Structure 1
Amino acid sequence: MTATANSIILHQYDISPFSEKVRIVLGLKGLEWFACDEPVIMPKPELVALTGGYRKIPVMQIGADIYCDTQIIIRELEKRFPTPSLFVGGDRGIGWGIGMWTDRVFFQAAVAIIFGGGAALADEAFIKDREKLTGRPFDIEAMKAAAPMMAEQFRAQLGWLEDQLADGRAFLMGDKPGIAEANAYYNLAFIRWTSPAGAKLIEAFPKLLAWEARVRAIGHGTRHEISREDALDIAQAASSTEQVSRDAGEPNGLAPGDRVTVMADDYGRDPVVGEVVSSSAQHIAIRRKDPRVGEVVVHFPRTGFLVIKG
């Protein structure tokens, strides 16, 4: 199968936990998609040509529209492919909030267990890359010291999930899987891939184990492969479908045509510069140009990102 401007292209790598979150959504919706494997560490020249500087994984591409961060990727997939919905139990709002917990507090506990336990992922090149990404030392010794305490934190949060499943429900919000599954499951998958000691913590929760197996069985939809160069060619030949629109509720008066810088507020704060195309309480889209791909529109969520005018 050959990708087109309408194809879902996920710039990812297989051991990326945040890519797993999106892959579960693709499975829940039964979608066909193209995996464009990116390097685990910098340099990532093809990815940066698309995003303008944003380097975190995953990034979703549909034609010349580039979606950065799982939050906006999942929002766009729900918008384009509303059936079956990701919102299955009155969780249309709180589902996004659950994602902030799983992406930050839950994920950081998993990271400390994985790297504090001596996972073979962290060679010298990886450590230097992650120090540039986070802007602080990637201190394996500190993680080793913290790992026992983080195991307690991780176990406590597993307990929350076990409690949610205590009434015999199949999934976190009821009898159907949705956004809560994608948000929570990937941290368990990451632990499974990399930390036998961390995986033992999961084994103590029988209802969570059964839920984990049900989510795993959902799969990842229908996956195809695409090269990085072919993905760039698609962006170059396509045009963005994002419509220019102004949000009268913008707190700081942002309007289409304004020049802005967008960056994450936690780590990976590589600035992306462009002109506003559209914005809302949950989304901002900016237009930028690159010598390799031409004009693209890059999309970001608002929660977790800073938008600086000028």
Structure 2
Amino acid sequence: MTTASPIILHHFEKSPFSEKVRVVFGLKNIEWTSVLISRIMPRPDLMPLTGGYRRTPVMQVGADIYCDTQCIIRELERRFPEPTLFPNGYEGLASATAMWTDRSLFQNTVNLVFGSLADQVPQDLIADREKLRGAKFDVPAMTAAIPQMRDQFRAHVQWIEAQLADGRTWMSGDKASLCDVNAYMNIWYVRAHLPNADEMLAEFGNTRTWEARLRAVGHGRSSEISASAALDIAAGARPQTAELSDPNDPNGRKPGDRVEVMPDDYGKIKVSGEIVALSSQHIAIRSRDPRSGEVVVHFPRAGFLVLPA
């Protein structure tokens, strides 16, 4: 399937959440455009697109902007339905695994990685992550907690190993699914940063074979443009999101309502706008900036707060 506007991913190479989307590009053999951004703020050409949302990655299709990997991957599945990320009726469970992999397992992995790197962590990265978290990014405390983090990481990986124990190729059976993509992100992150990753994964033979299989998938077919060029693409486009109501919205929200949307865990920057479309799983709001013009910014519902403006 082709699109009138390119699929643009704003990301940085060592971002584990970006790796998740890059693997989806590989599984679906998608042609996409890469915009490499700084791993710390400021990102002056990206903020006009997102209304201030600053977590990585962000996907852009013309003047439609998709935030959070839940939302990005759902949109990629809609645009490129084959091969599906939800084989054999796994849509609910595969989507729900993100609440495990992106929160509990990821926090465990972050503490393990940064605690192990210790004084190698740049001060500007620490300062940036403290702003992102709204709390102290305490590397010495992470270092002190390494024994506990190793215990917990091992417990998480054992769940992956158990799922693969019957010799299946993928966590959902004989076809790769979002379950695999979500779980792989954290294994990739440890492998990318810790020289003792082989030792940590030594007892998990099925997981290591599965990890190698996912790594071999690759990242699809990409080309690169600048952040300013991507901003120009948005400014020259019009959002393609159709108005969509949700008659079952438990709070009676509807298109045209002004709201503020933000994550409920960290990076709690409110993005303001008028609702264009909403459902149980997504909300899209209209935002305006002098540099980008009118854009529609898309968010998931799980893990996000929607507040009256």
* TM-score w.r.t. length of structure 1: 0.97
- 1:260 corresponding residue in structure 2: 259
* Paired letter, 2:148: M
Whether the aligned pair in 1 keeps the contact of 2:118 and 2:140 (CA below 8 Å) is no
Cα distance in 1 between the residues matched to 2:126 and 2:264: 21
Aligned length in residues: 308
Where does the alignment leave 5 or more consecutive residues of structure 2 unmatched? none
* Paired letter, 1:92: E
Cα distance in 2 between the residues matched to 1:36 and 1:107: 24
Matches within 5 A, 1:57-206: 57-118=56-117, 122-206=121-205
Whether the aligned pair in 1 keeps the contact of 2:118 and 2:143 (CA below 8 Å) is no
Closer, same or farther: CA 5–119 of 1 in aligned 2, 3 Å: farther
Q: CA deviation at 1:200?
A: 2.1
Q: CA deviation at 1:120?
A: 6.6
Cα distance in 2 between the residues matched to 1:184 and 1:248: 34
CA RMSD, 1 decimal: 1.4
Where does the alignment leave 5 or more consecutive residues of structure 1 unmatched? none
- 2:224 corresponding residue in structure 1: 225
Q: CA deviation at 1:199?
A: 4.2
Cα distance in 2 between the residues matched to 1:45 and 1:120: 29
Whether the aligned pair in 1 keeps the contact of 2:53 and 2:269 (CA below 8 Å) is yes
| 3-state secondary structure, aligned to 1:35 | strand
Cα distance in 2 between the residues matched to 1:200 and 1:277: 50
Whether the aligned pair in 2 keeps the contact of 1:54 and 1:272 (CA below 8 Å) is yes
- 2:17 corresponding residue in structure 1: 18
| 3-state secondary structure, aligned to 2:105 | helix
Whether the aligned pair in 1 keeps the contact of 2:85 and 2:176 (CA below 8 Å) is yes
- 1:295 corresponding residue in structure 2: 294
* Paired letter, 2:210: W
Cα distance in 2 between the residues matched to 1:200 and 1:46: 41
Cα distance in 1 between the residues matched to 2:130 and 2:86: 36
1:245-299 CA-to-partner distances (Å, cap 9, x unmatched) read 2111111111111110000000001110000001000000000111101000000
Closer, same or farther: CA 189–119 of 1 in aligned 2, 3 Å: farther
Whether the aligned pair in 2 keeps the contact of 1:191 and 1:199 (CA below 8 Å) is no
Cα distance in 1 between the residues matched to 2:194 and 2:31: 31
Closer, same or farther: CA 112–199 of 1 in aligned 2, 3 Å: farther
Cα distance in 2 between the residues matched to 1:96 and 1:37: 27
Q: CA deviation at 1:181?
A: 1.4
Cα distance in 2 between the residues matched to 1:131 and 1:148: 24
Cα distance in 1 between the residues matched to 2:119 and 2:190: 13
Cα distance in 2 between the residues matched to 1:154 and 1:54: 29
Q: CA deviation at 1:47?
A: 1.2
* TM-score w.r.t. length of structure 2: 0.97
| 3-state secondary structure, aligned to 1:156 | helix
| 3-state secondary structure, aligned to 1:153 | helix
- 2:215 corresponding residue in structure 1: 216
1:134-173 CA-to-partner distances (Å, cap 9, x unmatched) read 0000001110111110111001111111111111101111
* Paired letter, 1:99: A
* Paired letter, 1:265: D
Cα distance in 1 between the residues matched to 2:78 and 2:49: 22
Closer, same or farther: CA 168–120 of 1 in aligned 2, 3 Å: farther
Closer, same or farther: CA 251–116 of 1 in aligned 2, 3 Å: same
* Paired letter, 1:148: P
Q: Give me the identity figure in percent.
A: 54
* Paired letter, 1:220: H
Q: Write out the 4+ residue segments of structure 1 that deviate beyond 4 Å after TM superposition.
A: none
Closer, same or farther: CA 61–45 of 1 in aligned 2, 3 Å: same
Q: CA deviation at 1:122?
A: 2.0
